[in-house]
Amino acid sequence: MTLNKTQIAEIDQLRAQQAATRRATVPALEEILYTALPVLDHGFVRVIDYMGDDAAITQAARVSYGKGTKKLNEDKALIFYLLRHWHTTPFEMCEIKYHVKLPIFIARQWIRHRTANVNEYSARYSIMDREFYLPAAEQLGVQSTNNRQGRAAVLSPDEAAKVQKILREDAERCYQHYMEMMNLQGSDGGEDTEPQILDPNRSGLARELARMNLNLNFYTQWYWKTDLHNLMHFCRLRADAHAQYEIQAYARVLLDTMQRWVPATFEAFQQYREGAINLSKSGLDVLQRMLRGEQVSEQSSKMGKREWREFCQSMGLNDNGQIVSPQNKVA
Amino acid sequence: MTLNKTQIAEIDQLRAQQAATRRATVPALEEILYTALPVLDHGFVRVIDYMGDDAAITQAARVSYGKGTKKLNEDKALIFYLLRHWHTTPFEMCEIKYHVKLPIFIARQWIRHRTANVNEYSARYSIMDREFYLPAAEQLGVQSTNNRQGRAAVLSPDEAAKVQKILREDAERCYQHYMEMMNLQGSDGGEDTEPQILDPNRSGLARELARMNLNLNFYTQWYWKTDLHNLMHFCRLRADAHAQYEIQAYARVLLDTMQRWVPATFEAFQQYREGAINLSKSGLDVLQRMLRGEQVSEQSSKMGKREWREFCQSMGLNDNGQIVSPQNKVA
Amino acid sequence: MTLNKTQIAEIDQLRAQQAATRRATVPALEEILYTALPVLDHGFVRVIDYMGDDAAITQAARVSYGKGTKKLNEDKALIFYLLRHWHTTPFEMCEIKYHVKLPIFIARQWIRHRTANVNEYSARYSIMDREFYLPAAEQLGVQSTNNRQGRAAVLSPDEAAKVQKILREDAERCYQHYMEMMNLQGSDGGEDTEPQILDPNRSGLARELARMNLNLNFYTQWYWKTDLHNLMHFCRLRADAHAQYEIQAYARVLLDTMQRWVPATFEAFQQYREGAINLSKSGLDVLQRMLRGEQVSEQSSKMGKREWREFCQSMGLNDNGQIVSPQNKVA
Amino acid sequence: MTLNKTQIAEIDQLRAQQAATRRATVPALEEILYTALPVLDHGFVRVIDYMGDDAAITQAARVSYGKGTKKLNEDKALIFYLLRHWHTTPFEMCEIKYHVKLPIFIARQWIRHRTANVNEYSARYSIMDREFYLPAAEQLGVQSTNNRQGRAAVLSPDEAAKVQKILREDAERCYQHYMEMMNLQGSDGGEDTEPQILDPNRSGLARELARMNLNLNFYTQWYWKTDLHNLMHFCRLRADAHAQYEIQAYARVLLDTMQRWVPATFEAFQQYREGAINLSKSGLDVLQRMLRGEQVSEQSSKMGKREWREFCQSMGLNDNGQIVSPQNKVA
């Protein structure tokens, strides 16, 4: 993560301000407000603002005149009840706003979540920073053969070094050309001065065109605002082990901020979403047969091969449908 | 507006709390936070929470690290520019949450605005208050003959009194029966005690069924949360003179809260939305001909009769397409 | 369900028309197109239009140039895979449009599903039909004591008769007054003539006001259009046994139309949504312990009382956490 | 536009199929169904499916049992009325589905329209085509100085040639490296065979990672489905002269398909959206003063410099606020 001096000063200035408010306030989240939480090599997540807390959920669920809280444990029980029964609207009553810096190819996955508000840094209007994502060697996974959209083991150190070299050189060259086409002097990034004209005798290509030469690993940034229900939905999908590693890295930081913000909801989220599984009609049938003592196999499960494997894995069973003892359990 | 003692105490308690925050804070809105602003005979609007202020709009538009403000007048100019050019996303970065009490037939219009979050008081779960909307005599408009969804002049005092009598008696009878079917004693409203069982020897109809006997003028209530862009969209349509009077009454109170919250945006809203008109291609053509000195009539305008009338009215012209002098101007 | 002669003739006329199209076409759905499928005492569901079929889902998932189908069983396997893994966007590529007649209190539940397009019959503009929902005696459930938003056993025949009398008389009286206030002659419903002026010497109250005297069991109607993903979401929540009976009745008819339209998706829906359960982290832990032979009780489950009961019920266990033999199984 | 033989055959096969349907059908749109309409150098727009026609709009607005049409001219008048008065929901009752091939940097603008359904070709799962956008020399605009997000005059032929060379070489090199990293043989594009392994002794980088080396001018493709209201909103913003040229090119093709599909709505769209302007409160005031014969200048207009210039331009006035005679009129 690279913040220049101006940016650091601006953040510090924001953090120094305090005002009195009658609104629901969460000290644990205030503590990190505006701070840049690092993700990947140059990215970050900053909490810019928030509305509501755990109590605001029960307050809305009860359509209260007052705070909506009864005893603390009753409130928590209600939050657990609401999440367990897929009552989504009370969680929509809390809202959070982030400033995120992220590689473009990740931004393209992220934006698929439509129920959110976004203001992205405009490359039609402004000049992009000279910052691109270069995966660490331990992230350079081989194409998986049994999952067409996944990674298997990592590349050999030699292969990894070659890949990193290609990615770095192509990004650097493309950025250099990006600046040249706009008739601007390339900078080495990080500083906060305006780029200088390269050649006063020629004109520069429009920014909205020059940007097309940048690679998909260049960083963009945006303000992203969503409600708690949609934040949980995002994190359930994107912090999941099947999501691409790079977006997982962001989702995990979002979850950290959620834990500070609404700790009771976070706990319920772990219970009913993150650690939960969807058990299909066939899966339910298989389990009931197993509980009655029947030994069920892939053949007798009426599931397909892949579904059976997924089922066994999610239940902590081996591929023969037998319970794995805790010490041997799949992580 | 009828708040019982418990409700008043709950609101007072909320208003008495103060906390320190680093978030953008708007003193003029804090002033009325949680307070019930009366609308119609029993309704209200309460601001429960808010996120952001005028500066948050420019901050998001610039994807700033800091507050995003430059000089105050530059910020205001940017807000005006954004609204003029229909840049909607920066206005989505501000959010507001209301608690609203409103007649059901108005709630049914209101809910058509889908880009908002809603938690409504549940008549499956709880017992509805004995409160219904009874229009004042001066609101009892006659069915308009030239606008099938409008009101013309008001009813005669006699007719109005008859209508009010019908509405009152039917609502009272229906509520009485609502309670009886649930085997509950009717109350005269306003108090805050739980309703008592009517007859210990019989069982009561389920609430989710009994409610169907209530009239559409009974009051419901909900928490309603939306972003500033959608709030403006709501107000543009619902504070408009063509909207039904009863929802206008709510939209005008929402506009008052918006003025406290984001005064610069409010001013821009008046300029580019509330006081603005959409000029059609034909309208533009007519105006240009008029500016060249041509006298344009309905016939030569190429507009339909109704469109021509609307055009003239919006431009302050009489039905012959002639400018009305300011003193004679249609309000 | 009451359709008057004009309406029947209009539907017949629509059904008589045929055109050639290159679009994906589903004969089983064409068969019932435009037909009114009865629901409750006066309601209906009519399929007005549709876009896509099962193959359109795989076509979109593969971003195909052609039909997107490979072998039929590969297509079906892909649909099952997509639904199992919560890939929602391919199902959004199919769209369906309904005309629904339904009681207002059900319309108010229904409209909470925001991701849909709605055109409702306007009571500002038009006169409402004299049709209200009168529940059959076997639907008049007593208020449940352990579930505040549910019904328990039905009322006694005597009580039921009293409730029906109240509902009928109040609705009839309120409709009579509705017409009188508008200065219109009441009709006995069903016919298709325009209502007549009652008294030529007085003016009628505006429709937008008079409607407020109607009860929540009066029927309204709307065009409702949604995509297949959101249709499934609606049906999962509203065809569920915990939903209010009256909306269940509609959801079940929607499911029937879905089965005609996209049979493979319907089958996957039954497998992964309708017949599936969400197993919490604790539930998963309890099951794994049970599979290892441990006898788990409410106390040792770490679940709350209510959650334990729900868990046992969904797994087909009795309240002691013991498997119920198939013949004793809870329905 | 490059379609390979398989793709052409698939499209031909689709076009050869015909079925009978009771649904609303539009021959003019059927005519081009599935056909690839070329945009830019390699892009296209294909209409894949549609629901509804002009009559479906009035049918929904009237919540009809039948076709909803009265006389043809009444229907058209209603459509004009609805669009003029911003009644959006009837237009949401028509739906259209496209297959679009477009450069990634344009896809990133496009996706900002959230009220649509999207299935994008997955570069996690599949290999991207070797096709990138190379702007024609006459599109290589210089960065505008008075509009930070616009283009001014085009580059000199020499400069343009240099820019094209950079863009071509960087894209070719990056694609070459993209394939190499995945251990695949580069192809010259266009053919429809699966890429071959480059070196059987090494493993290839996962697709989800390799893709990050591609430039933003590479083509992606997606299925995109939206309703007519949102299609018009998209086209109003993106076919506008201020939109980036490349997205305008797509929006204009979408408008062509809309004209075939719903000709009456298209005409209303031109009248009330495309050819219309939003006249601010100040603009309205200025016009009324002008109509009374007053000569209004920037100073006396109470508008800012930029707003005044925009106002004059939209009204066909010169910068002194004087009407431009038709022959001198700004295009």
For range C279-285, the mean pLDDT: 96
Cα–Cα distance, B51 to B60 (Å, whole number): 13
Active site residue ranges of C:
238
Higher pLDDT, C188 or A127: A127
Q: What's the burial of A157, exposed, middle or buried (CB within 10 Å: 0-12/13-18/19+)?
A: exposed
Q: What is the pLDDT of residue C67?
A: 80
Q: Domains in chain B and their CATH numbers?
A: 5-125+219-274 (3.30.1360.170), 141-213 (no CATH), 284-328 (no CATH)
User: For residue A122, how many other CB atoms are within 10 A of its CB?
Assistant: 18
- A299 pLDDT more than 50: yes
Give the Cα-Cα-Cα angle D24, D25, D29 (nearest 5 degrees).
140
Please list the residues that pair with B222 across neighbouring strands: B100, B120
Instruction: Choose the closest CB to D151 out of A118, A133, A206.
Output: A206
Nearest chain C CA: its distance from A237 CA (Å):
9
> CA dist A326 to A316, A323, C116, C285, C288, Å?
9, 9, 47, 11, 10
DSSP assignment of B46-75: EEEEEE--HHHHHHHHTT-SS----SHHHH
Are A279 and A287 in contact, with CB atoms under 8 Å apart?
Answer: yes
Q: What is the pLDDT of residue A215?
A: 98
Higher pLDDT, C319 or D327: C319
- A330 pLDDT more than 50: no
Count CA atoms within 13 Å of residue C220 on its CB side: 26
Cα–Cα distance, A90 to B222 (Å, whole number): 11
Are A291 and A284 in contact, with CB atoms under 8 Å apart?
Answer: no
Q: What is the pLDDT of residue B208?
A: 95
The candidate with the shortest Cα–Cα distance to C112, out of B120, A82, A226, D93, is: B120
Helix A54-61 vs helix A72-84: angle between axes, to the nearest 10 degrees?
Answer: 70
Note the pLDDT tens digit of each residue in A250-277: 999 999 999 999 999 999 999 999 999 9
Nearest chain A alpha carbon to B226: A93
> CA dist D31 to C22, D28, D231, D266, Å?
9, 5, 20, 18
Residue A189 tokens, joined: 């990034």
Helix (H, G, I), strand (E, B) or coil at D329: coil
> CA dist D27 to C163, C307, D269, D308, Å?
55, 57, 21, 46
Cα–Cα distance, B17 to C307 (Å, whole number): 35
Q: What is the pLDDT of residue D67?
A: 80
Q: What's the burial of C170, exposed, middle or buried (CB within 10 Å: 0-12/13-18/19+)?
A: buried
CB within 8 Å: B323 and D291 = yes
CB within 8 Å: A60 and B223 = yes
For range D71-78, the mean pLDDT: 86
For range A285-307, the mean pLDDT: 93
Cα–Cα distance, A128 to D105 (Å, whole number): 14
Nearest chain D CA: its distance from C298 CA (Å):
45
Rg (CA), chain D: 24
Q: What's the burial of D48, exposed, middle or buried (CB within 10 Å: 0-12/13-18/19+)?
A: buried
Q: What is the pLDDT of residue B327?
A: 52
Are A214 and A178 in contact, with CB atoms under 8 Å apart?
Answer: yes
Band (D324; pLDDT cuts 50, 70, 90):
confident
- C192 pLDDT more than 80: no
Considering D238, D252, D260, D306, which one is annotated as catalytic? D238
CB within 8 Å: C215 and B217 = no
- B58 pLDDT more than 60: yes
**Is this model's pTM higher than 0.90 or not?**
yes
Percentage above 70 pLDDT, chain D: 95
Cα–Cα distance, D246 to B128 (Å, whole number): 56
Are A96 and A228 in contact, with CB atoms under 8 Å apart?
Answer: yes
Mutate to test the interface with D, among A143, A165, A199, A225 (most CBs of D within 10 A): A143
For range B171-175, the mean pLDDT: 98
Cα–Cα distance, D126 to D222 (Å, whole number): 13
Q: What is the pLDDT of residue B296?
A: 95
Q: What is the pLDDT of residue B113?
A: 95
Mutate to test the interface with A, among B3, B13, B18, B22 (most CBs of A within 10 A): B22
Name which of C43-52, C204-213, D70-79 the model is least confident about. D70-79
Where does chain D have alpha helices with state H? 5-16, 27-30, 54-61, 72-84, 104-110, 157-181, 207-210, 228-238, 245-261, 263-269, 281-291, 298-301, 305-315
User: For residue B86, how many other CB atoms are within 10 A of its CB?
Assistant: 11
Band (C1; pLDDT cuts 50, 70, 90):
low
Q: What is the pLDDT of residue C324?
A: 76
Name which of A25-34, B186-195, C193-202 the model is least confident about. B186-195
Residues of C in CB contact (< 8 Å) with A are: 77, 80-81, 84, 86, 89, 112, 237, 270-272, 274-284, 287-288, 290-292, 304, 306-307, 310, 314-317, 323, 325
Q: What is the pLDDT of residue C331?
A: 42
Cα–Cα distance, B229 to C162 (Å, whole number): 50
Band (C291; pLDDT cuts 50, 70, 90):
very high
In B15-147, the DSSP E strands lie at: 19-21, 37-39, 43-51, 95-103, 117-120, 141-143
Q: What is the pLDDT of residue C330?
A: 45
- A30 pLDDT more than 70: yes
Are D141 and D244 in contact, with CB atoms under 8 Å apart?
Answer: no
Band (C307; pLDDT cuts 50, 70, 90):
very high
On chain D, the residues whose CB falls within 8 A of the CB of B79 are: none
Nearest chain A alpha carbon to D173: A170
Nearest chain A CA: its distance from D148 CA (Å):
5
The candidate with the shortest Cα–Cα distance to C56, out of C77, C82, C81, C75, is: C75
According to DSSP, residue B33 is labeled T
Residues, chain C: 331
Nearest chain C CA: its distance from A279 CA (Å):
5
User: For residue A76, how many other CB atoms are within 10 A of its CB?
Assistant: 17
Residue B264 tokens, joined: 């610069």
Helix (H, G, I), strand (E, B) or coil at C259: helix
Band (C146; pLDDT cuts 50, 70, 90):
confident
Give the Cα-Cα-Cα angle A258, A260, A261 (nearest 5 degrees).
60
Q: What is the pLDDT of residue A49?
A: 98
Q: What is the pLDDT of residue B156?
A: 94
Q: What is the pLDDT of residue A151?
A: 84
CB within 8 Å: A280 and C287 = no
Any chains having at least 3 CB pairs less than 8 A from chain A are B, C, D
Nearest chain D CA: its distance from C7 CA (Å):
6
For range A135-160, the mean pLDDT: 88
- D188 pLDDT more than 70: no
Band (B325; pLDDT cuts 50, 70, 90):
low
CA A270 to chain CA centroid, Å, is 16
Mutate to test the interface with C, among A323, A327, A329, A330 (most CBs of C within 10 A): A323
Higher pLDDT, B323 or A133: A133
CB within 8 Å: A105 and D143 = no
**Residue recorded with tokens 């076919």:** D239
Largest CA distance in chain D: 85
> CA dist D12 to C66, C242, D9, D26, Å?
9, 49, 5, 20
Interface C-D: count of C-beta contacts within 8 A: 153
For range A144-163, the mean pLDDT: 87
For range A269-289, the mean pLDDT: 96
Q: What is the pLDDT of residue C71?
A: 74
**Element at C77 (helix H, strand E):** helix C72-84
For range C211-219, the mean pLDDT: 98
Q: What is the pLDDT of residue D145?
A: 79
Q: What is the pLDDT of residue B216?
A: 98
Residue A4 tokens, joined: 């220049």
- B331 pLDDT more than 50: no
For range A88-95, the mean pLDDT: 97
Q: What is the pLDDT of residue B73?
A: 82
Percentage above 70 pLDDT, chain A: 95
Q: What is the pLDDT of residue A144?
A: 82
For range B287-309, the mean pLDDT: 93
Interface A-B: count of C-beta contacts within 8 A: 153
Note the pLDDT tens digit of each residue in B30-46: 999 999 999 999 999 99
Cα–Cα distance, D72 to B24 (Å, whole number): 56
Are D230 and D113 in contact, with CB atoms under 8 Å apart?
Answer: yes
Percentage above 70 pLDDT, chain C: 95
The candidate with the shortest Cα–Cα distance to C321, out of C331, C312, C330, is: C312
CB within 8 Å: A323 and C84 = no
Considering B211, B238, B252, B260, which one is annotated as catalytic? B238
Cα–Cα distance, A150 to A266 (Å, whole number): 28
- C208 pLDDT more than 80: yes
Note the pLDDT tens digit of each residue in B222-255: 999 999 999 999 999 999 999 999 999 999 999 9
Count CA atoms within 13 Å of residue D156 on its CB side: 6
Q: What is the pLDDT of residue B330?
A: 45
Active site (annotated) includes residue B292: no
Please list the residues that pair with C20 across neighbouring strands: D20
Cα–Cα distance, D69 to D54 (Å, whole number): 10
Q: What is the pLDDT of residue D144?
A: 82
Nearest chain A CA: its distance from B169 CA (Å):
29
Band (A66; pLDDT cuts 50, 70, 90):
confident
Band (A73; pLDDT cuts 50, 70, 90):
confident
Q: What is the pLDDT of residue C289?
A: 94
Q: Which residues have a Cβ under 8 Å from the Cβ of D61 and sit 6 or more positions away?
A: C119, D68, D78, D82, D87, D90
DSSP assignment of B230-275: HHHHHHHHHSSTTS-HHHHHHHHHHHHHHHHH-HHHHHHHIIIIIT
Cα–Cα distance, A246 to A242 (Å, whole number): 11
For range D95-99, the mean pLDDT: 98
Q: What is the pLDDT of residue D149?
A: 74
CB within 8 Å: C209 and B151 = yes
Nearest chain B alpha carbon to C204: B142
CB within 8 Å: B99 and A50 = no
* Sign of the CA dihedral running D190, D191, D192, D198: negative
CB within 8 Å: B275 and D278 = no
The whole-chain average pLDDT of chain C stands at 92
The whole-chain average pLDDT of chain A stands at 92
Please list the residues that pair with B317 across neighbouring strands: B323
For range B4-15, the mean pLDDT: 94
Note the pLDDT tens digit of each residue in D159-183: 999 999 999 999 999 999 999 999 9
Cα–Cα distance, D173 to D144 (Å, whole number): 30
> CA dist B291 to B322, C289, D323, D330, Å?
12, 85, 7, 16
On chain D, the residues whose CB falls within 8 A of the CB of C90 are: 119
Any chains having at least 3 CB pairs less than 8 A from chain B are A, C, D
Cα–Cα distance, B269 to B276 (Å, whole number): 9
On chain A, the residues whose CB falls within 8 A of the CB of D150 are: 206, 208
DSSP assignment of D61-129: HTT-SS----SHHHHHHHHHHHHHTT--GGGGG-EEEEEEEEEHHHHHHHTT--SSEEEEPPTTTSPPP
Band (B70; pLDDT cuts 50, 70, 90):
low
Mutate to test the interface with B, among A49, A70, A115 (most CBs of B within 10 A): A49
For range B144-173, the mean pLDDT: 91
For range B128-148, the mean pLDDT: 91
